[in-house]
Amino acid sequence: MSHTNPSTILVIAKEPLIQTLMCSLVELSGHNATQARGDETVTSAIHRVRPDLLLLDCEHDSACEQEAYDAAVSVGAEVLLFTPARTNDEVADFARIRGLRSMALPIRLREFSETLETSLQA
């Protein structure tokens, strides 16, 4: 695994606990986790942060709206969908419709890290 520079990953989760968990996993994978400010929309956060990757909870309202995906494209960010509540197959179907990668929790750190790397290299 070649780590040149850590990537900036914007984490958007529906639940604060999941948000914290995902940020920790990103940091443990050697990348910089960041999140939207309290009063900020997902789209505003994407434009402010200009992340390499948007890690988006498919339970979050913005996962069902086109704006977040358009914003990610406009700053050159890949999007990786995840779910704390659904099965891997359910999130994969949802992601496939949009041509995206996905993962379901719980997930092992190594598998999480590998999924991040694959998405960042897309």
The helix/strand/coil state of 75 is coil
CATH architecture of 8-120: 3-Layer(aba) Sandwich (3.40)
HSE-CB of 122 using CA atoms within 13 angstroms? 18
pLDDT along the chain (122 residues), means of 10: 77 96 97 96 98 97 96 98 94 95 95 96 86
Model pLDDT, residue 88: 93
| Alpha-carbon span 119 to 102, nearest angstrom | 9
Instruction: For the chain, give every domain's residue range.
Output: 8-120
What is the H or E stretch that residue 98 is in?
helix 88-98
Model pLDDT, residue 5: 85
Model pLDDT, residue 18: 96
Residues facing 91 on adjacent strands: none
| Alpha-carbon span 90 to 68, nearest angstrom | 20
Q: What is the pTM of this model?
A: 0.93
Here the tokens at position 106 are 């719980």
Model pLDDT, residue 4: 63
Model pLDDT, residue 122: 81
| Alpha-carbon span 58 to 81, nearest angstrom | 6
| Alpha-carbon span 85 to 104, nearest angstrom | 8
Closest to 29 (Cα-Cα) out of 9, 14, 45, 12:
9
Q: What is the dihedral of CA 96, 30, 104, 91, to 10 degrees?
A: -20
